[in-house]
Amino acid sequence: MEEKKKKLSMVVFSGDMDKIMAAFIIATGAAASNMDVTMFFTFWGLRAVKKPVNTGKGLFGKMLGFMYGGDIRKAGPSKFNFYGMGRWMFKKMMASKGVMDLVEFRNLAHEMGVKFYPCSMSMDVLEITANDFIDTAEPEVGVGFFISEALESQITLFI
Amino acid sequence: MSEDIKVDLELDLKGLLCPLPMVRVSQNISKVPVGGVIKAIATDPGSLADIPSWAKSTGNEVIKSERIEKDLIFYIKRLK
């Protein structure tokens, strides 16, 4: 008889490289520890599951798509980014130590069965559509879905 | 004390950093039969804590661990 798996649910609110990395490390670690993992991406975190496409419908949405465009590779560290210099430096440092980059972490997480859910409300606000997400993202959901996942989780995190 | 542990699968995890050592062990544990043993050789000091913790959370067992110079060697028995 298969015993019920334990579960980890996390909200990924941040679009910062370092925080997204922490989120994927915890997610893959939990999946390796035989847990079901739900990642709920909201607001700035949406970029972690976005394709490198321009987004936005109206003027503000397009401006936002331009200023905060790109995909997970454009995410900079939460400190010392210096308009992209910091991102470049951290990428060099991580690569020299053999740490995987964010895209590889995301692929690994997907291979291990981690589920990526975009938040529908922030998609509306930021004018990002379902077509703007990577193929491994699940359909958009709302907070009710997150709460029901969180209720049956042993671990919940907000990153 | 003669300890001849029969190893079913050997994993080279040298140079891998957290969380990869435990991820690789978890991806390979089903390749050995229940009761079988994986010998994993890591170099990340974090795996000293991680591999036994992984075994605890997944219901498996580290039956022996040793350090040979920089290599951290774990013998992990699949219990289920």
Q: How many domains, in total, are found in chain A?
A: 1
Residue A1 inside a domain? The answer is: no
Instruction: Give the pLDDT score at B9.
Output: 97
Contact yes or no for A29 and B22 at CB 8 A = yes
Q: What domains are there in chain B, each with its CATH number?
A: 9-77 (3.30.110.40)
Rounded average pLDDT over A98-110: 93
From B73's Cα to the closest Cα of chain A, the distance in A is 19
Contact yes or no for B25 and A32 at CB 8 A = yes
Give A146-157 pLDDT, tens digit per residue.
999 999 999 999
Mapped onto helix, strand or coil, the DSSP state of residue A24 is helix
Q: How many residues does chain B have?
A: 80
Instruction: Give the pLDDT score at B2.
Output: 47
From B2's Cα to the closest Cα of chain A, the distance in A is 32
Rounded average pLDDT over B1-16: 86
- Which residues of chain A lie closer than 8 angstroms to B16, CB-CB? 98
List the one residue out of A14, A36, A23 whose CA is nearest residue B19: A23
Q: Which residue of A has its CA nearest to B56?
A: A33
List the one residue out of A14, A140, A125, A15 whose CA is nearest residue A70: A15
Give A41-59 pLDDT, tens digit per residue.
999 999 999 999 888 888 8
Q: A64-68, B40-44, B66-70 — which is least confidently predicted?
A: A64-68
| Domain of residue A62, CATH code | 3.40.1260.10
E strand or H helix at A95:
helix A85-96
Averaged confidence pLDDT in chain A: 92
Give B14-50 pLDDT, tens digit per residue.
999 989 999 999 999 999 999 999 999 999 999 999 9
Sign of CA dihedral A133, A138, A140, A141: negative
Residue A21 inside a domain? The answer is: yes
Candidates A34, A97, A100; nearest CB to B58: A34
* Contact assessment for residue A106 and residue A24, using Cβ atoms and an 8 Å cutoff: yes
Max CA separation in chain B (angstroms): 34
Contact yes or no for B57 and A34 at CB 8 A = yes
Rounded average pLDDT over A101-119: 96
Residue of A33, A100, A106 to mutate when probing chain B, most B C-beta within 10 A: A33
Q: What angle do CA B61, A7, A109 make, to 5 degrees?
A: 85
> What are the residue numbers of the active site of B?
18
Instruction: Give the pLDDT score at A98.
Output: 83
Q: Give the residue numbers spanning the domain of A71.
A: 6-142
Beta-strand pair B71-77/B61-68 = antiparallel
Give A9-39 pLDDT, tens digit per residue.
999 999 999 999 999 999 999 999 999 999 9
Contact yes or no for A29 and B23 at CB 8 A = yes
How many angstroms separate the CA atoms of B74 and A124, rounded?
Answer: 50
> Using the 8-state DSSP alphabet, how is residue A114 labeled?
-
- At a CB cut-off of 8 Å and minimum separation 6, what does A148 contact? none
Contact yes or no for B18 and A97 at CB 8 A = no
